[in-house]
Amino acid sequence: MKFEVTILGSSSATPVHNRNPTAQLLNCNEKFYLIDCAEGTQQQLIKFGLKAAKIDYIFISHLHGDHYFGLIGLLSTMHLNGRIKPLHLFGPAAIQEILELQFKHSDTTLKYELIYHVTNPAEAEVILVNQDVTVETIILNHRIPCTGFKFTEKKRLRKLIVSKLEEQNVAIELYPLLKRGLDLTLPNGTVLKNEAYTTDSATPKTYAYCSDTLFDESYFASISNCDTLYHEATFLHDMLDRANETHHTTALQAAQVAQAVGAKNLLIGHFSSRYKTLNELLEEAQSVFENTSLAVEGTTFQI
C-alpha cells in the first residue's frame, strides 16, 4: 500500500526563488490528503503532475497566510472544473467565515459540498477515521492557534500463505476468513490454525506533520515513535532568539525533537527566505539526527 508524501512548498512566510510556502500532498492507498495550502499550491500540483481532483481531504494547520492563501483558488478551480464529490476541510473555525465571505462577494455557489470540520486548538483529538488512515491533531505552540496532524495507517489484513492453503485444497471463498485472523474447520473436520497459514501484515506507519511551532516538549507525547516526522526548521540555531520571538524552531531543535520522540526519519522545511541555500540547515540537523532530509519541492518521501 502506498503511504508517501510529496512536498509542494518548503518556504516560510514568503515565496522565494525556487521555494513556495508550505503545502504537502499525502498519498495513502491512492487517496489524497492535502496538508496546508499556501499560495501557489495549485501551480505546484500541476508542475509535479498531481491531480487536484483526486484530493478529498484538506487540512489547514493555522491561519497564517503561508499555510492557506492558496485555498480559495484551489477550491474555486475544483468548482470550475465541475467537481461534484464532497470535499472535507479540517482547520480553525474562522476558515469557514473567511471562505464564505470570498464566495459571497464573487457570487460563487460551489457545485460540490464543502464539509467543514473545526479543529480544537486546545486539545489533541482524532479528527478522521476511514478505511485507510486515522488522523489526529497535534497541539503546537505558535503565535496564533496551530495544530499539526498525525496520520496513522490502518492495520492491514493478514497475508495468506497460498501454497500451504492449496496443499489443503482450501476453497478460495474461505480466504477472507483467514485474512481476518480466524481459524478454519474444513468439511473433513480438520482445523487449520490461522497462524500456520497466514502471516501478520506490516506494522502500520505514522506520519507526523509539525507545522509552525516553538520548541516545546508539550507535544512530544503526541508524536512519539512516529516513522516520519516533518518538523519546521525556520532558522539556523544562531538565530535562536529570533526563533523564540516568532514562535518558530531552529534546525538543531527540530533534530532534537526527532531524537527525543524516537522518530525514524526527519524531514525539515519552512525555511526562512534569508537562506539562499539549505545545506547549512541540513548539516546542523544531521549533527544531532542523522536521518534528516530537506523537505524540498517535488521530493516524494516513503513513510
- CB of residue 249 vs Zn ion: minimum separation in angstroms? 11
Q: How far from 42 is each of 50, 203, 290, CA to CA, in Å?
A: 9, 34, 33
**What are the residues facing 152 on neighbouring strands?**
134, 206
The residue range among 207-215, 237-245, 284-292, 294-302 that interacts with Zn ion, by the rule CB under 5 A, is: 207-215
Is residue 297 involved in binding Zn ion (CB under 5 A)? no
Is residue 64 involved in binding Zn ion (CB under 5 A)? yes
256 neighbors 290 (Cβ within 8 angstroms):
no
The residue range among 9-17, 69-77, 119-127, 157-165 that interacts with Zn ion, by the rule CB under 5 A, is: 9-17
- CB of residue 65 vs Zn ion: minimum separation in angstroms? 8
Cell of 142: 505558535
Radius of gyration of the chain measured on its C-alpha atoms: 22
- CB of residue 233 vs Zn ion: minimum separation in angstroms? 12
The residue range among 92-100, 114-122, 170-178, 209-217 that interacts with Zn ion, by the rule CB under 5 A, is: 209-217
247 neighbors 216 (Cβ within 8 angstroms):
no
Interaction with Zn ion in 159-188: which residues (CB under 5 A)?
none
The residue range among 65-73, 105-113, 126-134, 150-158 that interacts with Zn ion, by the rule CB under 5 A, is: 65-73
Cell of 214: 516553538
**Does 66 participate in catalysis according to the annotation?**
yes
Measured from the CB atom, is 198 or 253 closer to Zn ion? 253
DSSP codes joined into one string, 214-270: ---GGGGGGGTT-SEEEEE--B-GGGHHHHHHTT--BHHHHHHHHHHHT-SEEEEE-
Measured from the CB atom, is 133 or 139 closer to Zn ion? 139
CA 50 to chain centre: 16
Measured from the CB atom, is 67 or 237 closer to Zn ion? 67
Measured from the CB atom, is 60 or 258 closer to Zn ion? 60
- CB of residue 5 vs Zn ion: minimum separation in angstroms? 18
Q: What is the distance between the alpha carbons of residues 132 and 177, in angstroms, rounded to a whole number?
A: 20
Catalytic residue among 36, 56, 66, 216: 66
Interface residue with Zn ion, options 36, 153, 212, 297 (CB under 5 A) = 212
Q: CB-based contacts of 103: which residues, under 8 Å, 6+ apart?
A: 109, 110
Size of the site for Zn ion (CB under 5 A): 4
Measured from the CB atom, is 79 or 248 closer to Zn ion? 248
Q: How far from 263 is each of 32, 223, 225, 231, CA to CA, in Å?
A: 23, 8, 5, 11
Measured from the CB atom, is 10 or 12 closer to Zn ion? 12
Interface residue with Zn ion, options 36, 66, 136, 153 (CB under 5 A) = 66
Cell of 280: 547549512
> Which positions are annotated as active-site residues?
66
Which residues of this protein are in contact with Zn ion, per CB under 5 A?
12, 64, 66, 212
